[in-house]
Every structure is written in C-alpha cells, then in structure tokens.
Chain A
Amino acid sequence: MTTEQTNKNPLIAKNEWFIILAAVVLPFIFHFSPYIQGLLIFIMIWTVLGSSWNLLAGFTGLVSFGHAAYFGVGAYVGGLLYFHFHISPWWGLLLGGPVAVLFGYLLGLMVFRLRGPYFALGTLASAEILRIVFGQEEWLTNGHNGILYITTWVSKYPYYFVGLAIALGSVLTIKLVMRSKAGFYFLSIREDEDAAEALGIDTKLYKNIATIISTFWAGTAGAFYMIYMGFIDPEVVFALHNISIITILVGIIGGVGTIWGPTVGAVIMVLVQELFRSAFFDLAPSWVSRMHELAFGLLVIFVILYLAGGVVGDWDIIRKRLHFKRAEIKE
C-alpha cells in the first residue's frame, strides 16, 4: 500500500492499463453471451459498492454496516423521477450520487458522533430506517409494489460500458485521493483518531470528505442498478443482507484497505455465487444450487481465518502457497 502512495508512480500503472484495455476490447473479440455480460455488469456494480465502502471502512476506519442506505437512495432518485414525472431514470445517474451525498451528510450528523461498533450500529440502523420508511410511504415511493421501468436497451453491451466507466471512475478517484494529502489524513484517522486530532488534522472535515466520496459512488452504483435492472423495491435496494453485508464481504474477501481489493472481491463473490447457483452449470446435482449462500459464507470464514488481509492484501502468502514454496510467511 505504501508503495502505491508515492506520487512518482503514474496514476494508472502498466498492469492496470492492461486490465482496462482488456475490459474494453475483450467484449468485441469474444462476443460474450448476454448471460456473461450480466455477470460482468454485476461485478462492476459490486466493485463500485465495495470500493466505496472500502474508502470509508478500509482507509478511514469508519466501518459502515449500512451502505445500502446510499445505494438505495441513489437507486430511488432515478426511480422516483420516472415514477412521478416520467423523466428518464438516466438523470438519476447524474443526480443519484449527489443526493446520496446529501443523505450521507444528514446521516453523518447523527452517526459521526459515534465511534467503532457504535458507528457501525448507527449506520446499520439508518439503512433499516430508510428501508421501512420507503416501504411504508406509498404516496411517495409506491411502497412494496416497487418501481418498474422498461429498460432502454435489451442488449447489455451499452450497460457493460457504462458500468465499466463507473467502476473505473470509482477505483481511480479513490486511488487518486489515497495518493494525496487527504489520503494520509484518512489513514491517520483510521490508526488513531485522537492522535490525528492532536496533530492538528481537522478529523471531522476529513471524515466528511471520505464520506462524500464514498456515498457519491454508492449512490451512483444505485442509480446505475435502477437503470440496468429496471425494477427496484425497498426490500431489494435497502437490503441489510443482500446489499450492506455483501458489500462488506466483498471488501473483506478482496482486501480491506487496498485499492484493487474490492474489485477482486467482487469478481470472486459474483463467480462463486453463480457457480453454485447454477450448480456448476448443471454439471453438479441440483441441490448444490441451494448452497450458494452457504458456499460464499464458508469462503468468507476461510478468508477471515487464513487471509486476514484479503486476497489482495495477503497476495504474497497466496502466491507462496500456490508455488508450494515453504517460505517464511510474515504475519
């Protein structure tokens, strides 16, 4: 991590250019089926959400258990524009982020007074409150009937590239921020908030900056989800388990406090879930498909026990294991 923060390195390293190029070019060469495109788009969405959570939790030490709040608000911005005024939800893509930031700020007024586990519980509660309010206030949100939007394109390619742009945008802004002075302030807040304060860092300001960036991308991910899926209801977008918790797990599996960790986590999460859900493409008996959540849970337990830094954070350990070298493993 520290090597990534020296400003001499270019913002996008050679390897990263390679990935970006591959992501742009491969769809033209291989002509992925819509099914694979769908999986790739979900990887993008989880990358954005995971990265956004990671900036707050991994780099700034503010472990949020309620990222669904910002995701859901972002999704509902486009959804409500369409539902009430028949305005294209694509506008939500522009407005979802800023409105989520506004919500994040308002929630922050409450939850930033809390620290550690109390902060986590505060964020969890705020997402749950939004879920219930959006479910009950039918005049505003259509409640549990949800909002249905006939999506703009049947083909998934356009969504793939929009998703890719958002994913890259989120990862690169976070990388950029983490190379700046603000990034070092975030880390100092994570390591010891009181000490950072004593050194003259305006911790409240920098916590707010981290929140703004994080909620912006979470809201944008939500807005994109609305446009792509064409259906939202409060149970889907404010889900504690399906959004907030999975976001955390994506971060943990990939590597908390690493730039590319959430991306790797998103890839692993989507692939493992889909492999099991489809019963290894119907090669395995069908009861395997009922295990998809169990499989992912076991993977998380394994990562927490043996690779506390996540796949990216503990890459050295994995590499040594894969090469079957009996090397000293630093803890």
Chain B
Amino acid sequence: MKYLKVIIILVLTAAFALSISGCGKKADGPVKVGVLLPLTGSKAKFGEMEKNSFELAKEKINEARTKAGLNKIEFVYEDDTGKPDVGRAAMEKLVNVNKVAMVTGGYSSSVTFAAAAVAQQYRIPFLVNTGSVDKITEPEAFNLTTDDGDKFYIYRLNPPVSEYASGLESLLREVVKPKSVFIIHENTAFGTKGAEAFQKSAEKLGIKVVGDESYSGGTVDFKPMLSNAKKLNPDMTYMISYVMDAAQLMKQARELNWKPKLFVGAGAGYTMPAFKENAGVASRRMVSATLWHQSLPIPGAKEYFDGYIAKFGGDGPDYHGAEAYAAATVVDDVLKRCNGNYDAATIKKALDATDMMTVFAPVKFTSYGKKIHQNKVETYVVQWIDGTLKLIWPKDLANAPFEYPIDWTKIWAK
C-alpha cells in the first residue's frame, strides 16, 4: 500500500507550488483586467482577431497612461477553448488566482452566458463584447429582476443576437423583396436564438419561412440539408454559422448549384477574412448582416483598421476586432474614472456612468424590455465584392453599390 504515499506527495507538492504561484501580487503594479477568449479550438480564429485588437489598443492606452502618470493596464488572457465548462473554470481562475479588477471579452454565446453566471456570483464586473445571446443581459436568467441593476454585474457593448438583422430588414423590404426564406443555423445558443429572431423578422416582412434546419458545429457533409433546401426553391437563405462551417456551407451550396436570389449570413462567420479564404469562389457576392465596417463615419474606425493590418497583416479585422478594441478603450475609460480605487463597486458605478465614443460605436448602457446594462447599436449589411467586404446598406453610408440581382453562373465561374 506504499503507493498511497504517492498521492499524498503529489497533492502536497501541487498545493505548495500553487500557493507559491498565488503570491507575488504588487500593490502598485499595473491594473489587471481579465480577457476571456477562445484562443484554441474551432473558434480560435475569432479569439486571435480579438486578442490582437486588445493588444493593439493596449499599446495606445498604456502610452497615454504613462504620460498621464497613471497605472498601466495589463490584460490577462484566459483561453475558454470555445467550451462553456472551460470558460467557467477560466473565469474562476481570473477572479481567484489572477485577482483581476474586472473581466472583458466573452466570445461565443454559450460560453459567455455560462461564464457570466460565475462573474455574477463572484460580483466581478464583466464587460461582454461579443457573446450575443439575449439572456446575457437579462437579469431574469440569473434569478434577479430588472430592478436589481445594482446587484447585476454584467454589461454588454455589442447588440443582442435578436437585433443583428435589424439593418438587414430594411434592405429586404426595400430592395430584395423576397417571398420565401430557408433558415440554416448552428444548433448552439447563438444559432437557435438567431434563427428564432429571424423567423420573427420574416413574419413582419411577410416572407414565408419554408424551412428551418439546424446542424452541429464541425459537420463535414451539409449536402443532404442543402439539397432539401434547394428542392423547396426559396428566394433567399439565411444562415447563422461560425467561420469554418460557413465556408463549408457556401462551398457545398455552389457544388450543388443551388441558386436562390440571395445568400445572407448573420454575421459571425460570414464577415471573417477566414471565410473568404476558405470558401474561395463560393464566398463571392455573399451578403451578411454586420455590426461595423471600417468605412463607417466613426472617428478612429479607419485608423484602427489600418493599424491592425500594419501590425498583423492579412485582410484586416471585421466587427469582432472592432468590438474587442472598443472594449479595451471602455475599460481604460472606466478605470480612469475609478480614481485609483479598483474595487468591484467603484468599477460598477463607473460602468453605469459610461457614455463615450469608441471605434465600434457609441457606448452607453441602458435598460429596455427584459434587458439592463445593454448598449444599443445600429446594424448594417455588407457584401463580399471582388474579394473585399463592402458596406452596402444603409444606402447613405454605403461605400459600394449593392450588387443585385446576382448572376450566379457568371459569379461562381472560376
């Protein structure tokens, strides 16, 4: 039975090592802010873009802070791997081990929601910048009411998924006027709630929903679902997917020669540079809802976009990157207004009073319906034209005309 000693030795060594690692906190060092992102796994592309944007913002912020004689900000990144249980453990680590003042980030809806419950329990302010399922800013989901603003620690600067298609609605009403739609969505919180919201939009616009099918992330063969959709011959299709599935769906739709009047994505995967790279020819003229575009008349948007390309290369960020950059600047602004007192209550008060402009959109946390601490954001429509993402709607802000109707035979030819 000697081996039992192994257990004791292992546990004690670990306990010792861990207790050492917990030390070393300096009182006068930088302010630590946790950032929860998927840095590995199938959603790593989004995490990478957001992390880059946080780093880009950090350089600028800390330069200004050094000049002003303020503490620097340190972002502590934790990888949620795109899984809710890992996200919760990561949030606990940020709070208990890294002892961060507040947390931001939060990519996929299900991870963000599960981790938000942990932040709420530990009473750590959590500024969500991408996770979009509606219930994240609905206190009801956390056993609170809308009057419990002072007990509710979750804030969100991006719009909820139910509002993603609001910009798209006017495009459909005024230009495309489709009679029928087929909805394809991932079977996650983001996908199902997005599909429900679009069903409502369709009803409002008088578009008949001829089909609504879900799939699991990482599916290889979408052809049975797509052939089924093709048979129903809808005027348009609305798809809610993360980036790799988005590329697969469009590639296989092209292979099946399915030609509805319009393919529309719900943001997420469909606006990412990685979508264009992976879908190739099949990405051409794809339309997507979006929350941001670098050509919008927002101060700093273009500079951020160019700065990102200068530093990290590639095709530049989409709205996910802008959300992350904006979150970093909001964090900076909030912490400045705390006057060196970084306890949760002070930070929360500062968050409540936030009213500022960011590269993403204006940020001010309001209450409406079941939601509190929610930022209201306009949404837009983009289209992949000649290998770049062009803003096509609303018309007065567009930087390219909407290409419609689309001759798929010509467009999809190599």
Contact = CB atoms under 8 A, between A and B. Distances in A.
A72 to B, nearest CB: 13
A144 B14 contact: no
B17 interface: yes
A312 interface: yes
Interface string A1-39: 000000000000101101100100010001011111011
Interface string A110-142: 000000000000000000000000011010000
A150 B21 contact: no
A151 B121 contact: yes
A30 B18 CA distance: 12
Interface string A155-191: 0000000000000000000000000000000000000
A289 B40 CA distance: 10
B2 A144 contact: no
B281 interface: no
Interface residues of B, number: 48
A146 B18 contact: no
Interface size class of A (residues with CB under 8 A): 35 or more
Interface string B99-130: 00000000000100110010011100000000
Interface in B1-53: 1-8, 10-11, 14-15, 17-22, 39-40
A281 B17 contact: yes
B122 A154 contact: yes
A264 B216 CA distance: 36
A146 B114 contact: yes
A38 B92 contact: yes
Specify the main secondary structure of chain A where it touches its partner: helix
Interface in B164-189: 187-189
Contacts of A263: 7
B57 to A, nearest CB: 19
> Could you tell me the dominant secondary structure of chain B's interface residues?
helix
Contacts of B2: 15, 315, 319
Given A143-B192, A148-B141, A19 B7 contact: yes
A148 B114 contact: yes
- With most chain A CB atoms within 10 A of its CB, the pick from B22, B79, B110, B120 is B110
A151 B114 CA distance: 12
A131 to B, nearest CB: 10
Contacts of A312: 3
A88 B14 CA distance: 34
Nearest to A271: B14
A315 B2 CA distance: 8
A233 interface: yes
A233 B18 contact: no
Given A36-B18, A233-B84, A319-B2, A144 B7 contact: no
B22 A260 contact: no
Contacts of A154: 121-122
Interface string B244-285: 000000000000000000000000000000000000000000
A321 interface: no
Contacts of A102: none
A236 B14 contact: no
A30 B3 contact: no
A38 B92 CA distance: 9
Contacts of B364: none
A144 B110 CA distance: 8
Interface string A259-292: 0100110011001000000100110000001100
A148 B19 CA distance: 31
Contacts of B221: none
Nearest to B187: A144
A16 B17 CA distance: 25
Interface in B74-91: 79, 83-85, 88-89
Given A30-B15, A35-B93, A36-B18, A229 B121 contact: no
A289 B79 contact: yes
B97 interface: yes
Most buried by B among A26, A145, A263, A281: A145
A230 B117 contact: yes
B189 A145 contact: yes
Contacts of A16: 1, 4
A135 B187 CA distance: 8
A138 B193 CA distance: 12
B117 to A, nearest CB: 6
A263 B4 CA distance: 10
A297 to B, nearest CB: 15
7 contacts: A15-B4, A35-B93, A135-B216, A144-B110, A144-B187, A154-B121, A290-B40
Closest 9 CB pairs of A and B: A281-B21, A315-B3, A231-B114, A15-B1, A34-B96, A15-B4, A145-B189, A35-B97, A35-B96
Given A268-B10, A271-B10, 14 more contacts: A15-B2, A16-B4, A30-B15, A35-B93, A36-B15, A135-B216, A138-B192, A143-B187, A144-B187, A145-B192, A146-B110, A148-B117, A151-B121, A267-B11
